[in-house]
Amino acid sequence: DQQVKQNSPSLSVQEGRISILNCDYTNSMFDYFLWYKKYPAEGPTFLISISSIKDKNEDGRFTVFLNKSAKHLSLHIVPSQPGDSAVYFCAASLNSGNTPLVFGKGTRLSVIA
């Protein structure tokens, strides 16, 4: 049973527009959520995180929204740039991040110039 789900395996967005990547989770005990960006044959790069006590966290072009009642989070990238093209993984953990991460299967974002 997958506890973290990214239901869209791929997403294409035009350069300059907003990219919205979605993630759902089933375990209500998760209290810390992260987004990672990954290129082939490289390790994931940390992008942004959010604690369950917040519903929004913003860092430059990246904003993560958390809806605890819906067990849903999303990553917004605006404006999207061609260099954003990569696979994005949503991850969740317990105990404020001090436990192993549970990853979604990833969404491949293609930003078209």
Partner 1 sequence: GAVVSQHPSRVICKSGTSVKIECRSLDFQATTMFWYRQFPKQSLMLMATSNEGSKATYEQGVEKDKFLINHASLTLSTLTVTSAHPEDSSFYICSALKRETQYFGPGTRLLVL
Residues at the site binding partner 1, with contacts judged by CB under 8 A:
32, 34, 36, 41-46, 49, 51, 89, 93, 96-98, 100-101, 103-106
Cβ at position 72, least distance to partner 1 in Å: 19
SS3 of residue 83 by DSSP: helix
Q: How far is the CB of 24 from partner 1 (least distance, A)?
A: 15
Burial of 84-101, coded b for 16+ CB within 10 Å and e otherwise, reads bbbbbbbbbbeeeeeeeb
Contact, 111 vs 18, CB < 8 A? no
Least distance between partner 1 and beta carbon 46 (Å): 6
Q: What is the DSSP string of 25-44?
A: E--TT--EEEEEEE-TTS--
The distance of closest approach from Cβ of residue 41 to partner 1 in the complex, given in angstroms and rounded to an integer, is: 6
- Which residue, 39 or 82, has its beta carbon nearer to partner 1? 39
Nearer to partner 1, 80 or 89 (CB): 89
Three-state secondary structure call for residue 99 = coil
